[in-house]
Structure 1
Amino acid sequence: MIVMKVAKFGGSSLADGAQLKKVIKIIVADDKRQVIVTSAPGKRDKNDTKVTDLLITYAKQTLQRQDTSAICQAIFDRYLAIAQYFALPEENLTELHKILFELKDHVYPDAKYLMAAFKAHGERLNAYLIAKILNHLGIKARFINPKEVGFLVTSEPNNATVLPQTYQALAQLPVGEERLIVPGFFGLTKEGQIATFSRGGSDITGAILACALKAECYENFTDVDAIYVANPKIVTDPAAITTMTYREMRELAYAGFSVFHDEAIIPAIQGQVPINVKNTNHPELPGTWIVPETDFMPTQTITGVVNSNHFSALYLHKYLLNKEVGATLKLLEIMYKYQISYEHMPSGIDDLTIIFDSDLLTPETKQLMCEDIQAALQPDQLEWIDDYAIIMVVGEGMRDHKGVTQKIIDSVSEHDIGIHMINQGASRISLMLGTKRADAANAVKYIYQTFFEEENK
């Protein structure tokens, strides 16, 4: 068995020729980097547009039967500029040009599948181009078409998940003879249609390949030196996390850590493949390792603290609610009726709060759900709380320290921040607080100060 690594590069790492030059240097610096997963070219500067967003515009113009020649040319020019940086003759892009300009002529099952196919081509065309450039530079490489290797996903055009048989198919990839360049973000349904993972899903592709190929590790190259304890936009110069566990990352990613896609943790866990998040611009730095829980020894009480404002809560009060058999079942049936999943459901003897992802709710859905809940349970009070944020405090070290919960609460309440909800998981490695959205960032700042500034004095 070949000892190898899977390396994924984000959009900022592949935005232009100068960035790709750094990526190529990283690839050739380690012979173990055999499988390379590409994102679509990202922004070259803050005023630029990502190629994926250009493709979304192309898709919308196609659906509206508008002239798409200008947007197609703008997209092609992004790839052409990268090719020209490496003196790759334009005739090498003939097939790329054909695929791009003919996207609008294909027949798709519906608008969602059309959108998925257009978005996926940011990654597909970039992988195709990078393979061409590597071979032009004398580095043996091969473009891997997900359709040809059996990368199968579920039939949800813009929120697909991988099918189990994909792992067996990918395990057959011929690793070792040349670098394999694989586009991230998408796969094919059993019906042969392109379907994408959720936005940022190239992380997922890399994790799936690392699991299938039993990689030594999965390197995820991005534009930050490491994953930090807190958001640098909230906390000035926060501490970097050197090592964390899968479940710590999963908890933190769920609540807002955007450096690594939370769904990408699952394939890594299944394959027990360590993940190393590194910076393309500073590859010599150690980055952050995400590892199995086995034999992990925490060095800090908490590993990270993060907030997310995209939540809403439905508060229900009814006397003797705890005595009402089947009350929770009725609530679940109503949510199932509207195909809405809930995030958390903390409760008391007479009270219950259901926390939802706001992005899943519409005003109409909220009104209809309330009407059904009122009819089914006849609560004394039923109220939507839209001004809701969640703060997640996570750390394997929390289990081994007494008084951590009180310390967290005190660090927030001492600054007159009201806490709407407290919820601790059975694993005892995370604590969730509910606050007003306006208070969330300050809550993160005060918790960080307590555990990383005052503790380390």
Structure 2
Amino acid sequence: MKVVKFGGSSVSNAEQIKKITDIIEADNERSVIVVSAPGKRFSGDEKVTDLLIKLGDSIHGSSFDRNVYDQVLNRFRSNVNELGLREEVFTAVQTKIDEAMILIKEGVPYGMDALKSCGEDGSALVISAYLTFRNQKASYVNPRDAGIIVRNQLGGALVHEESFERLYQLRERDGILVIPGFFGFTPNGQLVTFSRGGSDITGAIVAAGVKADLYENFTDVDSVYCVNPNIVDNPKQLTSLTYREMRELSYAGFSVFHDEALIPAFREKIPVCIKNTNNPEAPGTMIVSEQPDREGHVVGIASDHGFLNIYVSKFLMNREIGFGRRLLQILEDEEVSFEHAPSGIDDMSVILRDYQLPKEKEEVVVKRIKDELDVDMVLIERDMAMIMIVGEGMNQAVGLASQAATAFKDAGVNIEMINQGSSEVSMMFGVKSESLTAAVQALYKNFFE
């Protein structure tokens, strides 16, 4: 049994839906399908999920945007018409959107999540209907009926362990099962979405639950590249990665895979293959549990901007028991999530995503650190970028940090921060956002050319 997930670009229009149907029909083992909401059809287009969020925001603001509503419906209307499906398919999609809008109008807390989920839900309804139209035995399976039970955390659901036992029962069903990604249901029946891009999470959860032999994730690239191709021209393609390597790369800016998505597959040791809907014959990139044979330790360079650094300095900080705990407790109290926390004898830095600390919250956090921790200095450095070099067994390789530092020097980029800690898989560098491109290009030249 194979579980197959198709991303937004793969279901963006009728032409793409025909392609994925050919892919499904080409292999009888592709029996469980997870789908995203329709993505961009062309450069400058909008994703259906973005349109649904706009629509929901307009309802919240008491200024219903009829134009956005029509745009969403027209996306599904055109797919239904071009695929030759019956009107009732479109009506089912529209009904779910209208019901979710009513929830928002009535102030139901999960109304926005219900509306955001309509993109994936609509895709699943259309694709299951089209498979049936092509004489396949196929059925739409709502995540609640599939057994995807989640904790009540709106916009950031976490799966309950009982889901995996329930999902295993899908093996008893006949035909092709089409499941919308991105959302599940709490034990009391409330719809909750995963974090953005969460259809990858659904795919991995389902693959783990049914104990699939392979989880295929179809997107719009032939494979995973060792570096962002928007930064480096024609970068090296990767034929294989370990789960840990892929998770590090995804977390640090690789948009191919959601960084939370591999965990369920990793636990069940299910191999994952990333493939291209537009070139399904390409071998893709395999993600496996054991490190494959390869030359060198560095397999990828990931990067992302939009970080800030909270720098705290206090003389003899290392002698003050509980200082780090109390600093992080302040962040927890203010509902701020941090990413990294490298420290020295008299100073400590806390790296977090820029959006976690808007200006009004920054003033509160800085004041509390000064008042409660009696520090000598606290500074906020914004416009930071993080760069990670990734590879299994890096902590056993001699000279990697020196090689990376040489690349930064050659590019004329100052390293604001470096952190490896106990990780065997990655080494992190902090630079100013304006230096990101030059630094990544220099690292690629040093490690891969």
Is the pair's TM-score, using the shorter chain for normalization, greater than 0.5?
A: yes
Task: Report the alpha carbon displacement of residue 30 of structure 1 after superposing the two structures with TM.
Answer: 0.7
Instruction: Say which of 381, 384, 391 aligns to 2:387.
Output: 391
Task: Report the alpha carbon displacement of residue 111 of structure 1 after superposing the two structures with TM.
Answer: 6.1
Letter of the structure 2 residue corresponding to residue 214 of structure 1: K
Partner in structure 2 of residue 21 of structure 1:
18
Partner in structure 1 of residue 272 of structure 2:
275
SS state at 2:241 partner: strand
The yes-or-no answer on 1:377 pairing with 2:373 is yes
Instruction: Say which of 330, 333, 351 aligns to 2:326.
Output: 330
The yes-or-no answer on 1:173 pairing with 2:176 is no
CA change 1:446–1:149 in 2 (3 A) is: same
CA change 1:295–1:398 in 2 (3 A) is: closer
Structure 2 CA distance for aligned equivalents of residues 450 and 70 of structure 1 = 50
1:204-251: CA deviation from partner (whole Å, max 9, x where unpaired): 000000000111111000011111111111111110111011111111
Instruction: Say which of 90, 96, 99 aligns to 2:96.
Output: 99
Structure 1 CA distance for aligned equivalents of residues 412 and 94 of structure 2 = 59
The yes-or-no answer on 1:447 pairing with 2:430 is no
The yes-or-no answer on 1:74 pairing with 2:77 is no
The yes-or-no answer on 1:246 pairing with 2:253 is no
Structure 1 CA distance for aligned equivalents of residues 429 and 42 of structure 2 = 36
Structure 2 CA distance for aligned equivalents of residues 122 and 376 of structure 1 = 47
CA change 1:450–1:157 in 2 (3 A) is: same
Instruction: Summarize the alignment of residues 56-67 of structure 1 with structure 2, pairs less than 5 Å apart.
Output: 56-67=53-64
Instruction: Say which of 66, 81, 87 aligns to 1:90.
Output: 87
Structure 1 CA distance for aligned equivalents of residues 106 and 195 of structure 2 = 19
Instruction: Say which of 223, 246, 251 aligns to 1:226.
Output: 223
Letter of the structure 1 residue corresponding to residue 296 of structure 2: Q
The yes-or-no answer on 1:340 pairing with 2:336 is yes
Partner in structure 1 of residue 160 of structure 2:
163
Bigger mean CA deviation after superposition, 219-228 or 58-67: 58-67
CA change 1:364–1:82 in 2 (3 A) is: same
The yes-or-no answer on 1:127 pairing with 2:147 is no
Task: Report the alpha carbon displacement of residue 416 of structure 1 after superposing the two structures with TM.
Answer: 2.1
Bigger mean CA deviation after superposition, 336-345 or 237-246: 336-345
The yes-or-no answer on 1:263 pairing with 2:287 is no
1:154-182: CA deviation from partner (whole Å, max 9, x where unpaired): 11111111111111111111456200000
Contact 1:344–1:354, Cα closer than 8 Å, also in 2: yes
CA change 1:112–1:313 in 2 (3 A) is: farther
CA change 1:131–1:278 in 2 (3 A) is: same
Task: Report the alpha carbon displacement of residue 419 of structure 1 after superposing the two structures with TM.
Answer: 0.9
Partner in structure 2 of residue 302 of structure 1:
298
- Using the size of structure 2 for normalisation, the TM-score is 0.95
Contact 1:299–1:397, Cα closer than 8 Å, also in 2: no
Contact 1:300–1:397, Cα closer than 8 Å, also in 2: no
CA change 1:218–1:443 in 2 (3 A) is: same
1:54-74: CA deviation from partner (whole Å, max 9, x where unpaired): 222322233334456554443
Structure 1 CA distance for aligned equivalents of residues 291 and 227 of structure 2 = 25
SS state at 1:263 partner: coil
The yes-or-no answer on 1:403 pairing with 2:366 is no
Instruction: Say which of 193, 198, 205 aligns to 2:195.
Output: 198
SS state at 1:173 partner: helix
SS state at 2:169 partner: coil
Bigger mean CA deviation after superposition, 146-155 or 437-446: 146-155
Task: Report the alpha carbon displacement of residue 252 of structure 1 after superposing the two structures with TM.
Answer: 1.3
CA change 1:128–1:261 in 2 (3 A) is: same
Structure 1 CA distance for aligned equivalents of residues 156 and 372 of structure 2 = 32
Partner in structure 1 of residue 179 of structure 2:
182
Structure 2 CA distance for aligned equivalents of residues 160 and 451 of structure 1 = 38
Letter of the structure 2 residue corresponding to residue 383 of structure 1: L
Q: Which blocks of at least 5 consecutive residues in structure 1 are unaligned? A: none
CA change 1:64–1:375 in 2 (3 A) is: closer
SS state at 1:289 partner: strand
Partner in structure 2 of residue 50 of structure 1:
47
Contact 2:392–2:425, Cα closer than 8 Å, also in 1: yes
Task: Report the alpha carbon displacement of residue 89 of structure 1 after superposing the two structures with TM.
Answer: 2.7
Contact 2:393–2:424, Cα closer than 8 Å, also in 1: no
Structure 2 CA distance for aligned equivalents of residues 307 and 94 of structure 1 = 43
Structure 1 CA distance for aligned equivalents of residues 378 and 61 of structure 2 = 43
Letter of the structure 1 residue corresponding to residue 448 of structure 2: F
The yes-or-no answer on 1:152 pairing with 2:157 is no
Instruction: Summarize the alignment of residues 135-150 of structure 1 with structure 2, pairs less than 5 Å apart.
Output: 135-150=132-147
The count of residues paired between Structure 1 and Structure 2 equals 449
- Using the size of structure 1 for normalisation, the TM-score is 0.94
Contact 2:59–2:105, Cα closer than 8 Å, also in 1: no
The yes-or-no answer on 1:367 pairing with 2:358 is no
Structure 2 CA distance for aligned equivalents of residues 248 and 445 of structure 1 = 20
Task: Report the alpha carbon displacement of residue 364 of structure 1 after superposing the two structures with TM.
Answer: 2.0
Aligned-pair Cα RMSD in Å: 1.8
Partner in structure 2 of residue 213 of structure 1:
210
Letter of the structure 1 residue corresponding to residue 347 of structure 2: D
Instruction: Say which of 353, 356, 377 aligns to 2:352.
Output: 356
Q: Which blocks of at least 5 consecutive residues in structure 2 are unaligned? A: none
